[in-house]
Amino acid sequence: MQRDLNLMRKILIKIADSQNEPPLYAKNFYELSDNKLNVDYQLRLLSEAGYIESEDTACLGDNHPYGKYDVYWLTPLGNDYLSAIRNDTVWKKVLSRIVSSGGDLTLDMIKELAKTILLSQIKFPLP
């Protein structure tokens, strides 16, 4: 299983936009992908990266090899990352740069790239 940057972004947006009381259950994210295990894996990665506050509620014998996460909220780190990548135009540019660089970037590198793109779009005169 690999990181799915688009799915991770969709998950973060869903958490940020949720009007429901926490927690959001793993099943609340299954609509974002046709692969439930991939959703479980991306939730695990986001949790381990410190982007979401969550709890693994899988029990031994459950069919959730990557865990079954109840998500409470975005952490400050998760909010910062989402703020950098949330804009669709910025996100498309980030993905384009990742492809043109021929590789995979860390989440921190993606955030820095998105911040650079955002800052380049801000056009105001400096004193």
Q: Domains in the chain and their CATH numbers? A: 5-75 (1.10.10), 83-121 (no CATH)
Query: Would you say the pTM of this structure is higher than 0.95?
Result: no
Residue-level pLDDT at 9: 98
State the pLDDT at residue 126. Answer: 56
Please choose, from the candidates 49, 37, 95, 47, the residue with its C-alpha nearest in 3D space to the C-alpha of residue 73. 47
Q: Specify the pLDDT at position 14.
A: 96
pLDDT at 61: 63
Residue 5: what are its φ and ψ, rounded to 5°? -60, -40
Helix residue ranges, H only, 1-127: 5-17, 36-48, 76-85, 88-100, 107-121
Mark the ranges of the chain whose per-residue pLDDT is less than 70.
Answer: 60-61, 124-127
Q: What is the pLDDT of residue 60?
A: 60
Residues 6+ apart with CB under 8 A from 8: 42, 45, 46
Q: What's phi and psi for 54, nearest 5 deg? A: -150, 175
Contact of 43 with 11, CB cutoff 8 Å: yes
The 3-state DSSP class for residue 53 equals strand
